[in-house]
Structure 1
């Protein structure tokens, strides 16, 4: 069994030590990824090594709609043996040891190091460059140690998490929206309803855009990254141009301005308005109807102002947009070559 979609990056295809035990619907593996024996990849699971390498050890389990990715210019991702990742989690540009359990909705961020024999509880965020020593259960945002844990307990938690995963929800039939040639929509993305995609927009792997009630409008050169889910239930979703929606974002009816960035694993409540030139840190949430002013870095649950949006952050946001425009052009070419 192989993933639904395998693509090279810079001419390099993924390498599997052996045929995976299971690959779910819409699963995707890209680029310089090395995956150990007895891997299990759930529905919508995405492993992307497009710029740095991803190395995953033996008996790696990736839950439904979870994402493993890299930081293009700085960090790859390395994961040890017997690591279990739950549903809707993100393992991003970090190092994870062996015998680790990463529960549902966890986000691990760039440069973090997770040692052997760790459990990270559901919904936790491991901040950039954090170090989680082995032998503990961690929870919270940022993730902090809660109590010691033995390897036997880690193995039991892994087994329970895998048993709880069950089958993924049946995928709704997708529409094929008419898009201009500069737009990239991944073959494993699912779009339904009234959706307008601006020139150069990029909709990445295993995303879901559901606009059967209210419309979804995505601005020019905006990217929506792997496993993000946008559901309009009324007034619709409007996203400005040159904006980044990170991996595994959940979003209801809202307005997001131009040149903004919504970080990995954020949850945007219905009625939220995010102004132009705003950045929402990974793992943050908004309250219904909340207004996020431009020119600031926001974070927390619910989001609050953390700092002014300085020149370095603005430059980083611009580089991400440019990089994803390039990714979109390349993936569009590669996808067109597939049978």
Structure 2
């Protein structure tokens, strides 16, 4: 028997499945305006979230563990063709992906990008916004560049290799807040997220689906209106802990170690913040960037690359982008909190109905 993914209606629209799933791993979530084709395989803690736009996926789709599909609010949907395999820890965001595509582990494909048919991406590739990826090639790097033409049938073989890899079998450990935690009543913690240890979360902050936050012996502090998006990992292994300021956005599939992140920052999709990093106020860390241990990211700058380096001063448009995302996520959080509250009584009633002799 295949376990159903965690699923929610959004704006009155429920996820639609063309046929039974071939697999849904523990903690997999399909949310909102999602259309999935036949023979979809969803890995452990994978997330497909269609709130501010729709997600449409074709037949024979494989989504690896801790990978994310999402949209750009009111601007770009996420459209994926037939016979596409996505590896573990990847993010396919607000873009169009053709058919017969292999997207290996840790790859990030960003807003408005178009990936043509018959493409393969090596692990850790990054496709930046608005780029067009021509068919028939293997791509690698950040930014992703063609390495060589694909051999006949190679994309199919690579898809098969991705799909055949062992997957985690268990969901996240149950959340357990430690003494000294303070979580404002307006905070949204998604139903498939896990938070362990001491958490201080201020008003209207949000912790999204499949997030794995472990404060260890320290604390995780999240400022007012800050969002920590799906499949982000936060690990505290020293006494410093993690502190994220107010009005900041942490993208999908980010890894954060003991560090300090200031106010009004945007931490891009698939990026890594190394131990001891200090991100000052109003910094944009680009998608897939990696800081160095102890690095200081100065206020008012865009940083990119691995290791992260100053790219350009932040202009008004980039600062406005952070404010826009923060506002959208405050709205999303209110919506999903209400949806989850409504779903819990229905699930309890269903469970009661399935237990012989349970009170009616």
Category of TM-score, reference length = shorter chain: over 0.9
TM-superposed CA distance for 1:64, in Å, is 0.1
* Structure-2 change in CA distance of 1:56 and 1:332 (3 Å): same
Cα distance in 2 between the residues matched to 1:113 and 1:130? 6
Cα distance in 1 between the residues matched to 2:197 and 2:100? 43
Question: CA RMSD, aligned part only?
Answer: 1.2
Task: Give yes or no for contact 1:185–1:204 (8 Å, CA) kept in 2.
Answer: yes
State which drifts further: 160-169 or 203-212.
Answer: 160-169
Q: TM-score, normalised by structure 2?
A: 0.92
Aligned partner of 1:20 in structure 2 is 21
TM-superposed CA distance for 1:2, in Å, is 5.2
2:304 to 288, 296, 299: 299
TM-superposed CA distance for 1:338, in Å, is 1.2
2:190 to 170, 180, 186: 186
Aligned partner of 1:239 in structure 2 is 244
Aligned partner of 1:78 in structure 2 is 79
State which drifts further: 248-257 or 163-172.
Answer: 163-172
Aligned partner of 1:205 in structure 2 is 209
Cα distance in 2 between the residues matched to 1:4 and 1:200? 27
State which drifts further: 164-173 or 319-328.
Answer: 164-173
Task: Give yes or no for contact 1:267–1:285 (8 Å, CA) kept in 2.
Answer: yes
Report how many residues are paired: 339
Task: Give yes or no for contact 2:44–2:171 (8 Å, CA) kept in 1.
Answer: no
Q: TM-score, normalised by structure 1?
A: 0.97
What secondary structure is seen at the aligned counterpart in 2 of 1:317? helix
Task: Give yes or no for contact 1:117–1:151 (8 Å, CA) kept in 2.
Answer: no
* Structure-2 change in CA distance of 1:193 and 1:123 (3 Å): same
TM-superposed CA distance for 1:4, in Å, is 3.4
Task: Give yes or no for contact 2:71–2:93 (8 Å, CA) kept in 1.
Answer: yes
Aligned partner of 2:12 in structure 1 is 11
Would you say 1:275 and 2:280 are equivalent positions?
yes
What secondary structure is seen at the aligned counterpart in 2 of 1:105? coil
Aligned partner of 1:338 in structure 2 is 343
Cα distance in 2 between the residues matched to 1:248 and 1:65? 8
Q: After TM superposition, which residue ranges in structure 1, 4 or more long, deviate above 4 angstroms?
A: none
Cα distance in 2 between the residues matched to 1:190 and 1:259? 25
Task: Give yes or no for contact 1:117–1:150 (8 Å, CA) kept in 2.
Answer: no
Cα distance in 1 between the residues matched to 2:4 and 2:327? 28
Task: Give yes or no for contact 1:174–1:190 (8 Å, CA) kept in 2.
Answer: yes
* Structure-2 change in CA distance of 1:45 and 1:170 (3 Å): closer
Cα distance in 2 between the residues matched to 1:103 and 1:242? 33
Cα distance in 2 between the residues matched to 1:140 and 1:308? 24
Cα distance in 2 between the residues matched to 1:280 and 1:208? 21
What secondary structure is seen at the aligned counterpart in 1 of 2:224? coil
Aligned partner of 1:315 in structure 2 is 320
Q: Which has the larger radius of gyration?
A: 2
Aligned partner of 1:40 in structure 2 is 41
Which consecutive residues of structure 1, in runs of 5 or more, have no partner in the other structure? none
